[in-house]
Each structure stands twice: as structure tokens, then as C-alpha cells.
Amino acid sequence: MTEQPRTDENRPAVRVERDGVVATVVIDRPKALNALSPDVLRALADAFDDLEDERDAVRGVLVVGEGGRAFVAGADIRALSTLTPDEGAEAARLGHRVAAAIEAFPAPVIACVDGFALGGGLELALACDMIYATDASSFGQPEVRLGVIPGFGGTVRLPRAVGLSLAKELIFTGRRIDAATAEAAGLVARRFADRDALLAGARATIEEVAANAWTAVALAKRVLVEAAGTPTATASGLEVAGFADAFRTEDLREGMAAFIEKREPEFSGR
């Protein structure tokens, strides 16, 4: 693992907390509104790589920003402002590396947004499986106001989440939308009154997921991620393959036997 970036208080800027089947990845740069510097992006990628080693124990991950003002207010503009084109490409690849690590992680990942999710912050949230948000949250891709475009996946994932027309409007104008608008557009899955309710609701979802067949959840996520944006025939083929793979698992035999025998299943995750 690379050395952790530090906050002003000399705490790691990214930390992982574990509580039962739930892991929480905390971005802890509140004075910088949790901005994504290259070091923070590397630490996020490392965090998900490390969690991959615990995949049998972790059934879901929450991604949160510390401080209450922002999930992530964007990329670190000071760090980006002096980059050459080649360095800019490398910075974008680093953002995509984080998104790929989140999408490859077999358990559901919920972005818990409380405050700003702008630019790279929205792109980080979009890489997660679900976005939960407080009423105080706002979302946007303001990159064009700085002379750049989304570089961490916004042009790819935002249209999939809200449709091409709204995605173009948000990206071309740099406009922000509030949590209620984001929920109506399908960007936010669930909305909560405050941070405590947000975290409790996200944890409850992970615990509900954890009661299901772990192998089936991981297969479903794999198919959903791989099929996104592909032609219908390709996506259907991926689904058929995933469906067939489920029949190789002990969880399928247990789940179907329990249904037939009218009892609760005892899934093994195999």
C-alpha cells in the first residue's frame, strides 16, 4: 500500500472502519471539503484493494465524506492547475482506477452523500452501486466552468443514471441540482432528512443484502456492471452466463431447497 496522505491534524485522509458485515470508507479532509487530490485517489484505490482481501467478511461498503459540508466537493483544483496534458491524462486514469476498483468489488457500495457532490465527487458517487443522500445535498459537474471536462467517468456514468439529455444539460451548463431533483431524475436512490438517518438507512440496506445469497448478489453486480451500455444482445448473453454460473453454487441449491421445504435458507457464500 502507498503511504497515506494526511489531514492537517495528521490523520489519514482516507480510513476504513469495520462494523460487522459493513465497512465504511471515510474521506477525511473536511477543511478541503474532501477534495480528491492524486494522493487521496491512490488511497481510495488502495482501500478497495485491501477490502478485496476481506471479501468473504464484508457484505457491503459505505463511502462517506467527513465534516458534514461535503461528500466530496470535487477534484483538488490546486493539484490539477499545473498539470501538462500527459499529466492530466494520468490524473484521469487514476480517477478511473478508483471507479474500476469500486465496480469490481463484489459487494454493494453505497455513496452516502451529505452536502456537496460536485465534479469528481459526483463521479465517485456514480461509480458506487447506489447513491443515498440527505436533503441538504447537491450534485453537479461544474468542470466546464474551469475550462475542463469531467475526467473520472462523468461523461460515461451520468448519462446512464439520468439519461443523455439531462446529463448534457448538467455537464454543458455546470448547473447544480438539489437532492429532491436528483432523486426524481433517478440519480439518488433514497433521500433522508439528516446524516444520522442516512447512515442508518444505508447500513440497513447492506444488512438486508447480507441476508441474501452472497454468490447471487456478487453475480448480479458483475452482470449489471459488465452489461451497462452494451447492446441488448451482448447484455443478454452476459445475463445468461451469470444465470448459469449461479447453478454452480451451493447457495442456489440451499436457497431452492429451503423454498421447497418452506424454511429459512442458510447460505454459505459458496
Helices 214-227 and 232-246 pack at an angle, to 10 degrees, of: 170
150: which DSSP letter? Answer: -
Which member of 66, 103, 143, 183 is catalytic? 143
Name the grid cell of 251. 447457495
Residue with cell 442516512: 198
Active site residue 226: no
Of 204, 73, 182, 205, give the one whose Cα is nearest residue 135.
182
The x, y and z cell numbers of residue 75, run together, are 477534484
Look at residue 86 and give its three-state secondary structure.
helix
Beta bridge partners of 62: 24, 110
Catalytic pick from 9, 52, 90, 123? 123
Lookup: cell for 161: 443514471
Q: How many CA atoms lie within 13 A of 185 on its CB side?
A: 23
Task: List the grid coordinates of 6.
Answer: 494526511
Give the separation between CA 50 and CA 16, rounded to whole angstroms.
10
Mention every residue, 6+ apart, whose C-beta is less than 8 A from residue 157. Answer: 99, 123, 126, 127
The closest of 114, 126, 117 to 153, measured between CA atoms, is 126
- Is 143 catalytic? The answer is yes
Q: Catalytic site residues?
A: 123, 143
